[in-house]
Chains A and B, each alone.
Chain A
Amino acid sequence: MSITEYFELVITDYTLRTITLGTAVLGAICGMLGSFAVLRKQSLLGDAISHAALPGIAIAFLITGAKDSNVLMLGALVSGLIGTFWIRGITSKTHLKSDTALGLILSLFFGFGMLLLTFIQKQPNANQAGLDKYLFGQAATLVEKDVTIMVFVTGICLIVLLLFWKEFKILLFDADYTKTLGFNTKFIDILITFFIVLAIVLGLQTVGVVLMSALLLAPAAAARQWTNSLKVMIILAAIFGAFSGVLGTAISASDNNLSTGPVIVLVAGVFVLFSFIFSPERGILFREIRFRKNRNDLQLKKTLQFMYGIAKTHENISHPHAIRILNNFQGFTKGSLRTMEEKEWIQLKGQEWSLTPVGFEEAKNLFNQQKND
Chain B
Amino acid sequence: MKQKFAIKVDDLTVAYDYKPVLWDIDLAVPEGVLMAIVGPNGAGKSTLIKAVLGIIKPIAGSISIYDKPYKEQRKLVAYVPQKGSVDWDFPTTAIDVVMMGTYGSLGWIKRPGQKEKKAALEALEKVGMLPFKNRQISQLSGGQQQRVFLARALVQNASIYFMDEPFQGVDASTEIAIINILKELRKAGKTLVVVHHDLQTVPEYFDWVTFLNVKKIAAGPVKEIFNDDNLTKTYGINYKVAINK
Give me the interface of A with B, judged by CB distance under 8 Å.
39, 41, 95, 163-167, 169-170, 172-174, 176-183, 224, 227-230, 232-233
Contacts and interface: CB of A to CB of B under 8 A. Distances in A.
Interface stretch (B74-82, B173-181, B209-217): B74-82
Contacts of A224: 91
A286 to B, nearest CB: 16
A177 B81 contact: yes
Contacts of A177: 79, 81, 100
Given A163-B109, A170-B100, A180 B86 contact: no
B91 A228 contact: yes
A95 B74 CA distance: 32
A228 B95 CA distance: 13
A280 to B, nearest CB: 13
A225 to B, nearest CB: 11
Nearest to B138: A228
Q: How would you classify the secondary structure of chain A's contact residues: helix, strand, loop or mixed?
A: helix
A174 B108 contact: no
Contact of A166 (B79, B90, B103): B103
Contact of A170 (B81, B93, B103): B103
Interface residues of B, number: 29
Interface string B22-55: 0000000000000000000000000000100111
17 contacts: A39-B87, A95-B17, A166-B106, A166-B109, A166-B112, A167-B103, A173-B87, A173-B100, A174-B81, A177-B100, A179-B55, A181-B104, A183-B104, A227-B91, A230-B92, A232-B91, A233-B91
Max chain A Cβ within 10 angstroms of own Cβ: one of B71, B91, B103:
B91
Nearest to B136: A228
A164 B103 CA distance: 12
Nearest to B52: A180
B91 A229 contact: yes
B97 interface: yes
B111 interface: yes
B90 A182 contact: no
B114 interface: no
Given A174-B81, A177-B79, 16 more contacts: A39-B91, A95-B17, A164-B109, A167-B108, A173-B97, A174-B85, A176-B81, A177-B81, A180-B74, A181-B103, A182-B74, A183-B108, A228-B92, A228-B136, A229-B91, A230-B90
